[in-house]
Amino acid sequence: MSTTRVLTGITTTGIPHLGNYAGAIRPAIAASNNPNTESFLFLADYHALIKCQEPERVKESVRAIAATWLACGLDPERVTFYRQTDIPEITELTWVLTTVTAKGLMNRAHAYKAAVQENIDDDNADPDRGITMGLFSYPILMAADILMFNGGKIPVGKDQTQHIEMARDIAQRFNFLFGETFTLPEAVIEESGMILPGLDGRKMSKSYNNTIPLFEPEKKFRKLINKIKTNSLEPGEPKDPNDSALFDLYSAFADPAAINDMRQQYANGIAWGEMKQVLFELLNEELKEKRDLYNTLMDDPAQLDQILKQGAEKARDYAIPLMKEVRQKVGIGPIAG
Ligand code: TRP
């Protein structure tokens, strides 16, 4: 059977939370174990600079995200796991692609258009106020991330599909001008990715400030679980599992039989305090060992660097020859060559 090359990037901003784990990390690691796929997974730290200009936070986030994926079971022997900035060929390719990308294509990018719209809504005289060239042209960096490794299937959230289409457009343009070079990538939309509720019952998201960080120390983790919003129903009163953040969280981690049983316990009027205790136990069981491993890795940044360096070497085995080919095709290289 032929193998599919699956590639995806994680922008390194923030510290992973439970929603990231159930929605992205856990399914991606499971998928990476499929013998018919070859996975490339990288930390998009140049993308992070578009959103965050605080060096300490940028640094901390790369470290936490690398440690999280490894602690959650990513096998760096199976997966080519690397940091974008360790592959200088990616930024080199970005420039070459920039020279074949229509500005009009970038004008249509949702992220850019949304930023412009915000300025217009705020009655700003300059619709481009506060918008960097990084934000404007980052779909080209993303195209380079993908095309560099001839990524075929690109698992992304819905908000990113337009960028994959742009990468296709850019690849086609290059292929047309300089000959067949790049595979055209396809987005794989993660429909099955679970959406977890946060502390206030809305979708768990950094922008709502309602997250439960994945690897909080156990005591703090318990405290956060205890803070999850419930209603004022007393113990013994029947409760509705379809309107309960605690139940949704439970369902994302328990097996089907346990979920059914919990439905019954809701009907029987389980006390919120007890439900929180049960949920804590379940989550803690799933995360305990991973948390220990995470802490070990966080305390040993040299080991993280070493793992990422090995990943970068594997990635550069592809990137260096491809970049050489690209340079040749566009007419750059030794004058005598
Ligand atoms: N921009 C993507 C996001 O914010 C992350 C990303 C960067 C990416 N480069 C990529 C995803 C290449 C897939 C392929 O989610």
Per 3-state DSSP, what percentage of the chain is helix, strand, and coil (rounded to 5)? 60, 10, 30
Helix (H, G, I), strand (E, B) or coil at 166: helix
Residue bearing the CA closest to ligand 1, atom 8? 9
pTM for this model (two decimals): 0.93
Angle separating helix axes 161-178 and 133-147, nearest 10 degrees: 70
> Looking at the structure, do residues 69 and 158 belong to the same domain, yes or no?
yes
Atom of ligand 1 nearest to the CA of 155: 13
Range of the domain at 279: 215-296
Residue 263 lies in a domain: yes
Q: How many CA atoms lie within 13 A of 301 on its CB side?
A: 7
214-227 pLDDT, tens per residue? 999 999 999 999 99
256 phi/psi in degrees, rounded to 5: -55, -40
* E-assigned strand segments in the chain: 4-11, 37-44, 80-83, 153-156, 186-189
User: Does residue 153 form part of some domain?
Assistant: yes
Q: How far is the CA of 65 from the centre of ligand 1 (A)?
A: 14
Domain containing 250 — which CATH number? 1.10.240.10
Q: Is residue 169 part of a domain?
A: yes
Instruction: Ligand 1, residue 10: give the atom nearest the CA.
Output: 5
Using CA atoms, how far apart are residues 79 and 75, in angstroms rounded to an integer? Answer: 6
Per-residue pLDDT at 335? 86
Cα of 216 vs centre of ligand 1, distance in Å, is 26
Asked if 36 and 106 sit in the same domain, the reply is yes
Q: Cβ distance 58 to 85 under 8 Å?
A: no
> Residue 300 belongs to what H/E stretch?
none
Asked whether residue 202 is assigned to any structural domain, the reply reads no
Taking CA atoms only, the protein residue closest to ligand 1 atom 10 is 9
Identify whether residues 102 and 124 lie together within a single domain. Answer: yes
Q: How far is the CA of 142 from the centre of ligand 1 (A)?
A: 6
What contacts 22, CB < 8 A, 6 or more positions away? 194, 196, 252, 253
Same-domain status, 182 and 250? no
List pocket residues of ligand 1, CB cut-off 6 Å.
7-9, 11, 44, 47, 142, 145-146, 154, 156, 160
Same domain, 30 and 167: yes
Structural domains counted in the chain: 2
Q: Are 49 and 58 in contact (CB under 8 A)?
A: yes
Q: In a structure prediction context, what are the per-residue pLDDT tens digits for the chain, which is 337 residues long? A: 578 899 999 999 999 999 999 988 998 999 899 999 999 999 999 999 999 999 999 999 999 999 999 999 999 999 999 999 999 999 999 999 999 999 999 999 999 999 999 999 999 999 999 999 999 999 999 999 999 999 899 998 888 999 999 999 999 999 999 999 999 999 998 765 678 999 999 999 988 999 999 999 999 999 999 999 999 999 999 999 999 999 999 999 999 999 999 999 999 999 999 999 999 999 999 999 999 999 999 999 999 999 999 999 999 999 999 999 999 999 998 888 6
Q: Which amino acid is at 289?
A: E
Token code pair at residue 245: 């953040």
